[in-house]
Amino acid sequence: MAKRFPPLSALRPFEAAARLESFSRAAAELHLTHGAVSRQVRALEEHLGARLFARHGKRVSITPAGKAFAERVRSALEEIARAADEAGADRREHRLTVSVLPSFASRWLMPRLIRFMDAHPKVEVNVIATVALANFAAEEVDVAIRFGRGPWPPLVSEHFLDDEYFPVASPRLNRGKLPREPKDLASFRLIREDRDYWHEWMEAAGVKFRAPPSGPLFNDSTYSLQAAARGEGIALARRSIVGEDLESGKLKRLFPVSVPSRESYWFVSPRETADAPRVKAFRDWVKSELSPPRARRR
């Protein structure tokens, strides 16, 4: 004969009320109303045919029967929680959450990510594209690709790529009449970013630096390169993310002079996930994608 279960939705409110000996505090803990907790407990009492709480006006106290039942319920809920953790462990083990700058995500990572997924079909990839630093605990981030000046202890940091800047423009800018020499840039609108390297580049190119003409200022390279491709001015591009625009002809490199970036790319992970197989596989894959084409493993 099948067992007659009590109303399962009432068990958590009852356990909280029994533990706290207060319907109000149980309601606050579970984000319910006082009335909702009271109704759930009353439904449980009616099902059991036993008083679980003694009411004293607005106060309640748990009865001996209620205390004994609460201990069994608490043990059962803890067992259910453990079972849920174990059931979800396999999915967490194969879920990879990566935090990365929007520019690197859209212009380098996403066009190539299908190759990682094909090579690791069991790994569920979650990409968080943001300029904010990763919140490893709150967002359950496994690894971040950070562009900056590392390392960042106590996190595990591994440098993997340096970068450089050089000017690019749309071939259609100024009806195709692009600057022929670095000094000609004085006549063009220069697109700027929060990380501004125009001063260093002008100095490396032998141009006496002046404040660049007023142009748009962006906090991410994606937008500065898009503006340059629309013909809105000349941008300083990072080598790591401008390759496809140069190959497609959307942008053209203007001069051979480049300046090294003060920041580099780093893998950053909490110690708990740094050596996880899914994280190691992702790091190895990124490095292989950055290697010369013939050395890549498809």
pLDDT tens, position by position, 55-69? 988 789 999 999 999
Are the C-beta atoms of residues 66 and 72 closer than 8 Å to each other?
no
pLDDT of residue 4 exceeding 80: no
Asked if the structure places residue 62 within a domain, the reply is yes
Indicate the SS3 state at residue 94: coil
The domain that contains 67 carries what CATH number?
A: 1.10.10.10
Whether residue 184 is found in the same domain as residue 250: yes
Whether residue 177 is found in the same domain as residue 251: yes
Report residue 3's pLDDT band, with 50, 70 and 90 as the boundaries.
low
pLDDT at 136: 84
Structure tokens at 10: 């009432």
Whether residue 251 is found in the same domain as residue 187: yes
pLDDT at 87: 59
pLDDT at 85: 65
Indicate the SS3 state at residue 152: coil
pLDDT at 294: 42
Are the C-beta atoms of residues 41 and 14 closer than 8 Å to each other?
yes
Whether residue 125 is found in the same domain as residue 253: no
**pLDDT tens-place string over residues 132-148:** 888 887 788 999 999 99
Task: Compute the average pLDDT of residues 9-38.
Answer: 91
Buried b (16+ CB within 10 A) or exposed e, 154-188: ebbbeeebebebbbbbbeebeeeebbeebeebeeb
pLDDT of residue 291 exceeding 60: yes
Residue with tokens 């006006």: 57
pLDDT of residue 44 exceeding 90: yes
Task: Compute the average pLDDT of residues 224-249.
Answer: 94
The domain that contains 146 carries what CATH number?
A: 3.40.190.10
* Mean pLDDT across the chain: 89
User: What share of the chain in percent tops pLDDT 90?
Assistant: 70
Whether residue 98 is found in the same domain as residue 136: yes
Which amino acid, 219?
Answer: N
Indicate the SS3 state at residue 257: coil
Whether residue 187 is found in the same domain as residue 61: no
Residues near 281 by beta carbon (within 8 Å), at least 6 away in sequence: 116, 120, 123
Asked if the structure places residue 218 within a domain, the reply is yes
pLDDT of residue 212 exceeding 80: no
Whether residue 231 is found in the same domain as residue 282: no
CA dihedral 165, 167, 172, 175 (to 10 degrees): 170
Whether residue 68 is found in the same domain as residue 209: no
pLDDT at 296: 46
Whether residue 180 is found in the same domain as residue 135: no
Cβ atoms within 10 Å of 129's Cβ, excluding its own: 17
What gap in Å lies between CA 153 and CA 210, rounded to an integer?
39
Whether residue 121 is found in the same domain as residue 12: no
Q: What is the DSSP string of 164-232?
A: EEEEEE-TTGGGG---SSGGGGGGS-B-EESS--HHHHHHHTTPPP-PPPS--EESSHHHHHHHHHTTS
Which of 4-8, 26-30, 42-46, 80-84 has the least mean pLDDT?
80-84
Number of domains in the chain: 3
Query: Which of 74, 89, 104 finishes a domain?
Result: 89
Structure tokens at 241: 């993310």
Pairing of strands 264-269, 156-161: antiparallel
Question: Could you list the residue range(s) of the whole structural domain that residue 226 is in?
Answer: 164-260
Report residue 1's pLDDT band, with 50, 70 and 90 as the boundaries.
very low
Task: Compute the average pLDDT of residues 201-208.
Answer: 92
pLDDT of residue 88 exceeding 70: no
Asked if the structure places residue 80 within a domain, the reply is yes
Highest mean pLDDT among 24-28, 208-212, 216-220: 24-28
Indicate the SS3 state at residue 266: strand
